[in-house]
Amino acid sequence: MRYTILLMMLGCNPAAIDDTGIADTDDTDDTDDTDDTDDTNDTDDTDDTDEPVDGFGNLSAELHDDHGSLVMAGWEQDEGAVVHIEYSFENNEWHSSPSYTTTSGEHQIPLVGIPYEMDVEWRLVIESADSVAPQEIDGESITTDDYPSGLPEPELLLSESDQLLENGNYILTSINQKDGGWTGGTYWTVIYDRLGRLVWAQKTPQSHWTLFAQVSVTGDHILWDEATYWSDFDGGAGSTVHQVYLDEEIDEIPTRGLHHAFVQLPNETLVWGSQNHGGGEALVEQATADTSEQVLWNCNDDWPNSGSCESNGLFYVEETNSFLYSFYTNNSLVEVDRDSGESMWWAGDVRNGYEFDPEESEFEWQHGISYTETGSLLVSTEARNGGGYTTMVREYIVNHDAETLTEIWNYDPNVYASTNGDAWRLDNGNTLHVIGSAGQITEVNADSEIVWHLDFDDDHLMGRGEFIEDLYTLVKGGY
């Protein structure tokens, strides 16, 4: 109800929302002959039926055992066929699974991208078969599970549909259901659609922390961290990274010492900042098919005058086989050469680092470090403005000859997060900013104008974020 009221205040019609979660806010009448969705009307040559079809039957639908927003649609068939599932949960807008080439026997396909507490209609579409004409068979409707208890519900404050990342249909991030900033609680890995509706959720067990969920480099599953460092006070000895499809866990990989950030290399090797390998903090890597760990670098031996070291950000630079590595304990970041383990350069409070131009653009309490496609440095950072503290995004050109970081762009949301934050330059030139413990996510354009704003209405700690185009790339497959 809160969402409907908000759209009316913004001048949007809640019924004019397509299945990507983007509001149709133009003033023109829909006078064409097609539904206002990503999918066309049912105008093909298939027959519609809810009657039994020879060779195809026993349609069933049930909720996934662990994820109550996933509908598992099943059927039996006596012969080989090419099929897909179409499903609708709002405004008679139909979505589709990919097409599958199936053999005789029982089959089950997950229906993804459906919010919690939604009534779902679905149908099996037989595209081709040996002895059956193309047709559609209706299945029994089903309702997705109740919204997970305790998990905060966001409010969509703004969505400028014509300015959003075109393929950013969903956002993956993590959140603590307990408010209070940097604090223990119940952490979740979550996926929301562009309307701010929860479509997938994974609770982190035993009050462990999740801060750096991400899509794998292969693009076909999710990695989410289960860090014991902040909950069990064990130096991260029990920390792990989970490899999961949306509908099935693949593996759980020990990552001793993990407390905040990790990355996956193009060959699927994991690298993380460790508080359990000595040297103040160590940068550790481990191939996913191997259990042996290799220390690449540590603060005490490889970063002069770095002082107390505890990291909060890590970014792999494939072109130079190096890592951007951020530390909140000394308000500095360093770039580390993976091959030699040397500190290539650094900036911040650590002595003998690069200078800032202008001086007042120096970052502080920085998070969410990355290089953009053009080679500029992007950082989410604490700063002061006329109203006090804020958490903003700064962009720099790194000049290694002059040893300077020159600010070329910034964005100030006038929102303060006491900790955490994440910033990414998107393919359309916009910037994604997860405003850490402020519990807000924005997409802003190059003119620093907010074009999308999701607000959790309290200081819930949020972790790394990224957009996803198609959730079907993240299911197990092989159906």
| CA-derived radius of gyration, the chain | 24
Alpha helices in 110-251 (DSSP H): 229-232
What distance in Å separates the CA atoms of residue 444 and residue 413, rounded to the nearest whole number? 9
Peptide bond into 14 cis (omega under 30): no
What distance in Å separates the CA atoms of residue 236 and residue 463, rounded to the nearest whole number? 18
Confidence (pLDDT) at 31: 39
Instruction: Answer whether 47-143 and 155-474 agree in fold.
Output: no
Confidence (pLDDT) at 49: 55
Q: Hey, which CATH number is domain 47-143, 2.60.40.10, 2.120.10.80, 2.40.240.10, 2.40.160.40?
A: 2.60.40.10
Higher pLDDT, 292 or 186: 186
Residue 430, pLDDT > 90, answer: yes
Alpha helices in 257-390 (DSSP H): 299-302
User: What percentage of residues in the chain have a pLDDT greater than 90?
Assistant: 84
Confidence (pLDDT) at 42: 45
Parallel, antiparallel or unpaired: strands 355-357 and 404-411: parallel
Q: Hey, which CATH number is domain 155-474, 3.30.1490.20, 1.20.1070.10, 3.20.20.140, 2.120.10.30?
A: 2.120.10.30
Task: Give the dihedral sign, CA 428/430/435/440.
Answer: negative
What mean pLDDT do residues 47-62 have?
Answer: 81
Pick the range with the lowest mean pLDDT from 391-405, 438-452, 465-479. Answer: 465-479
What distance in Å separates the CA atoms of residue 292 and residue 283, rounded to the nearest whole number? 14
Confidence (pLDDT) at 211: 98
- Structural domain spans, the chain: 47-143, 155-474
What mean pLDDT do residues 178-186 have?
Answer: 96
What distance in Å separates the CA atoms of residue 179 and residue 458, rounded to the nearest whole number? 6
Q: Measured in Å, how far apart are the chain's first and last C-alpha atoms?
A: 37
52 in helix, strand or coil? Answer: coil
Question: Is the entire prediction scored with pTM above 0.85?
Answer: yes
Confidence at 288, pLDDT banded by 50, 70, 90: confident
* Mean pLDDT of all residues belonging to the chain: 90
8-state DSSP, 140: P
Residue 75, pLDDT > 80, answer: yes
Residue 284, pLDDT > 60, answer: yes
Residue 57 pairs in a beta bridge with: 76
What distance in Å separates the CA atoms of residue 84 and residue 106, rounded to the nearest whole number? 14
Confidence at 34, pLDDT banded by 50, 70, 90: very low
CB 122 within 8 A of CB 128: no
Residue 307, pLDDT > 90, answer: yes
What mean pLDDT do residues 123-137 have?
Answer: 94
> In this structure, what token pair is assigned to residue 249?
């866990």
